[in-house]
Structure 1
Amino acid sequence: MPKKMYSTELKLEIVQKYLQGSVGVKQLAEKYHIGSKADIQKWVAAYRENGISGLCTTHGTYTGDFKISVVEYMHNKGASIREAAAHFNIPSPQTVSKWERIYYEQGKEALCEERRGRANKMKIKKPRKPKKNEDLLAEVQRLRMENEYLKKLNALIQEREKLEKPTK
C-alpha cells in the first residue's frame, strides 16, 4: 500500500502545534489522522534542522559522494539514522539505513553503484557452435588419456598404501 502524502502546509501546522507544547504527538496523530506518530517526529526533527524546506517533499537521486558523506557524518558525529536524515533533508530514514548497511558490508565504493530498477536475472546464452569431427576426436583422445592417467595414479597410491601397512 503506498504511503499517504501530506501537504507542506499541513505538516507545518502540526509541527507548530507540537512545538507550542500544548499538544503531544499522539493527540496530533489522532486529530489529523496521521498514520504514524513517527511521521510527526520526523517532521519535527526536519523542521528543527532545516526549517520549512525540511518539510517539503523531495524525491531525487543522490550521488555516491553524498551517500558516503551522510554515513561518515553519522559515524563521526554519533548521529542516529533519523538525525542524519533530518540534517541532510532526506525524506526517508530507511534510505539512510540502507546506505549505512551497504557502506559497512560492501565498502564505500558500493554506494557509488546504481542500484535502482530490476536486477537482470536472465543470463544471455551464447549459441554453441557445432564441433567439427576432428575436434570431437581430439576431445575423446584427451579424455581417454586423462582417464588412463587417473587409473595409473590410483594404482600407484594403492600400491604405496599396501606397502606401508604393517603385516600381521
Structure 2
Amino acid sequence: MENNKLLRMDNIGIVVESLESAIAFFEEIGLKLEGRATVEGEWAGRVTGLGSQCVEIAMMITPDGHSRLELSRFLNPPVISDHRTAPVNALGYLRVMFTVENIDELVTRLTKKHGAQLVGEVVRYEDSYKLCYIRGGEGLLIGLAEQLGHK
C-alpha cells in the first residue's frame, strides 16, 4: 500500500529576461508580489542539475492566497534556449490560465499598458466562459477566463 499522497501544488515557475517587467505585468492581472530573493550556490544547482547557479526570483501570489507563480531571472548560468515564440501546440509548452472578472477590460489594459497581444480572439464557450490567450510580457503565453453568470 502506498503512503505517498499529493498535498498541493506549490507554484509554477517561469524564466524571464526582466523581473521588473514580468512583475508589473502579473500585478496588472491581479497577482501580488509576495517576495524577492537571490538563490545561488552549489546546493541550488544540485536541485536543478545546472551546477553552481545564481538566480533572482520573485514570488507572485493570487488574491485568494492559494496559487503562486515563481518568476526567475538566471544570472549564471546564462539562458540557453527560448521557447516563448513556439506555437501553442509545441511539446512541453507552458501556459498559465487565470480566471478574471472582466476579460475584455483586462485585455484592453494589458495591450495598452504592457504591449500584450491577443493570440486569436476572445471566444465564448457555451454559457460558461469567455476565454482567450494573450502573449503577455516578454512573449509569455497567458490564458484568461471569465466565468459567465457568476458573481
Same fold (TM over 0.5): no
Bigger fraction of residues in helix = 1
Q: Compare relative contact order (CA 8 Å, sep 6+) and give the higher one, 1 or 2.
A: 2
Mark the structure with the bigger radius of gyration: 1
If the length of structure 1 is used for normalisation, what is the TM-score?
Answer: 0.17
Bigger fraction of residues in strand = 2
